[in-house]
Chain A
Amino acid sequence: MSATGTAAARLTGARELGARRARGRLNHYRFAPLVLILVNVVLFAAFFAWPAVIGLVYSFTDYTGVGSFHFIGLSNYEQLFGDSAFYAALGRTVLFTVVVVPTSFVFSLLAANLMVDRFAKGKPVAHIILFVPWLISPIVSGVIWRWLFGENFGLVNFVIESLGGGAVPWQSNADLSLMVVVIAATWGGTAFSMLLFIAAIKNVPVSYYEAAALDGAGPWRLFRDITLPSIAPTSFIVILLTTLNAMKEYALFQSLNNGGPGTSNNLLVQYIYQTGFQQGQIGYASAASFVLMILLMVVALIQLTVNRRTERRR
């Protein structure tokens, strides 16, 4: 009796499945997608999920990377928030981000606009020239700008001195040194944002421009009133990506000024690297990493909220 019952149930089940398949519902096919995502699931578990968990656990311990460890509660975080070097690194990171994001934004948007301007000549060649800096690694970019801005040997100071000025302390003044990094970061980051902007501008309906041009709008008005609002979602992505990249910048500082002069241009990642790997305080570095991660998330959330609000207003 029960056997027939299950058989009947199985039959209806099979019929339902058949019906689903006929209707083109995909959720029956469980096996194939699992096989396809398997590799990335394993990688995600091993190199993202698991480290995130143990990182959080270690941040409450005095683990040094080897041997045993003890739970020490919040004292890593207490020590972190009492450390002036941490605040210095945090302040420098914020300053760098606040300067580099708008600079990079303006230059990549300008470049993108020129690249789609039908009056500009020589675009293919200019495109390659503008694009090459993106190919160059942060380490080599740092070397290039260090060579250009060397205090005693750089071309920039040579030109300034030839024109009668005094040598500018590009390396030994902390703020000037940061400015050189900002220039280098803008130089290297422009091409990628420019690519995003070009794609966005090309997708703005041409009829908008034609209508506005008939009404006598000049190039600047076209840009301000049509291009800029139309590419707002892309602008949001560009700002978000450049902000996140700026906040975790490391290699460029390493090769350009080694976080110097002294330790004045150490950013958060430098701080994490030094405490975690040069001083072997894995627990403490994990705590610092978590603060950085929360910062990145807060930045992303704020920008998402602002983006949503502006989109709703429109």
Chain B
Amino acid sequence: MTATTAARATRKQPSAPGTPTRPRTRTGTRQLGRTIRATTLLWVLALAYGFPLLWFVLSSFKPAGDLFSFPLSLLPKSWTVQGYIDAWSSFNFYQFFANTFLVAIVTTILTVVASCCTGYALAKYDNRWLKVFFVCILATTMLPTEVMLAPTFLVVRDLGMYNSLAGIIVPSVLTATGVLMFRAFFLTVPDELVEAARIDGARELAIFFRIMVPISRPIMLTLAIFSFQWRWNDYIWPLLVLNDPNKFTLQIGIQSIVGAQNINWSVLLGASVIAIVPLVLLYLVFQKYVMNADLNAGLKD
């Protein structure tokens, strides 16, 4: 992270010493040209990426009758939140929302705790079994849920977690990305810090909880945001494990609207936007933790 900041700081400098050597106007026009070109390109791209969502959100405020009335208009002729009200009141939507929230929060807390402990052990201790376990963690990246649907499902069923929220929480706690992120972070923490604490007579676990956990707070937040996003958006695993409509998550609820013979678009638009809002809010609040995430370090190791 410090390297990035340093690079960013130095990057801004060259424009200043470069300018005086050349005639002012020429450089000025050239810079103006580059600014226009880069800015235009950036905003064309941003508009292309933003437009589908904009169109979707604007459509969700149209009355159901206007959704398909040609010619289509970008802005609703009369604004309404009826789609949202219908979505919220039908389909047990409140329950879906609460379930998703519970699953995402609990899994995130467990993931952060488990990843922090494991990442620290893998970074600051050295023995054969830890090395073996590190390889195991790496191997899990080759075994995504989708590849082991059937056998994992049987394990979850045999453990008595079929059709319970625990069945989607517990198997998702271990994530290689989380462990690797913490390992990469703790590798950057100097060993001398651990040694000094040992000399002062601190016990091993005390060193971890009193010193290491507090300094890893930024990584915790970054992983928490990622984890929350993953679990909020999970689809295939909850679909398999949950059977009782009272335990459904948002994504399954939305897919059940999409899968119907006649899609009720008014409800679907409202429901989808409701499902997006929490993540967008979370992102806007904790933006810097997502941006500063040194993802490279975590994924490369």
Contacts and interface: CB of A to CB of B under 8 A. Distances in A.
A125 B268 CA distance: 28
Interface in B1-36: 3-4, 7-8, 10-12, 14-15, 18, 31, 34-35
Contact of A206 (B11, B55, B133): B11
Contact of B174 (A48, A187, A285): A48
B142 A297 contact: yes
Interface stretch (A1-9, A80-88, A95-103, A129-137): A129-137
A206 B14 contact: yes
A121 B280 contact: no
Interface string B122-145: 101111011001001101101110
B125 A26 contact: yes
Nearest to A130: B49
Given A31-B204, A136-B276, A234 B296 contact: yes
A147 B118 contact: no
Contact of B53 (A26, A49, A50, A144): A144
Contacts of B144: 244, 248, 296
Which DSSP category, helix, strand, loop or mixed, fits chain A's interface?
helix
A123 B42 contact: yes
A147 B59 CA distance: 9
Given A144-B53, A158-B72, A118 B11 contact: yes
A16 interface: no
Contacts of A37: 117-118, 121-122, 130, 133
B240 interface: yes
A119 B43 CA distance: 13
Interface string B59-72: 10000000110111
A160 interface: no
Interface stretch (B79-87, B90-98, B152-160): B152-160
Interface residues on A, range: 35 or more
Given A32-B125, A48-B174, A120 B38 contact: yes
B149 A147 contact: no
A296 B142 contact: yes
Contact of A111 (B45, B56, B295): B45
Interface in B254-301: 254-255, 258-259, 265, 268-269, 272, 275-276, 279-280, 283-284, 287, 290-291, 293-296, 299-300
B196 to A, nearest CB: 11
A258 B150 contact: no
A219 B294 CA distance: 26
A187 B12 contact: no
Contact of B268 (A39, A132, A143, A209): A143
Contacts of A147: 55-56, 59, 265, 269
A32 B46 CA distance: 49
B235 A139 contact: yes
Nearest to B155: A51
A52 B15 CA distance: 56
Contacts of A114: 38, 41-42, 45
A46 B155 contact: yes
A250 B71 contact: no
A269 B146 contact: yes
B125 A133 contact: no
Contacts of B127: 27, 30, 33
List 8 A-B pairs, minimum CB-CB distance, nearest first: A137-B233, A32-B204, A55-B151, A51-B151, A33-B121, A120-B38, A33-B125, A36-B121
11 contacts: A34-B129, A36-B120, A40-B173, A40-B174, A48-B174, A117-B42, A127-B291, A136-B233, A144-B56, A158-B70, A202-B11
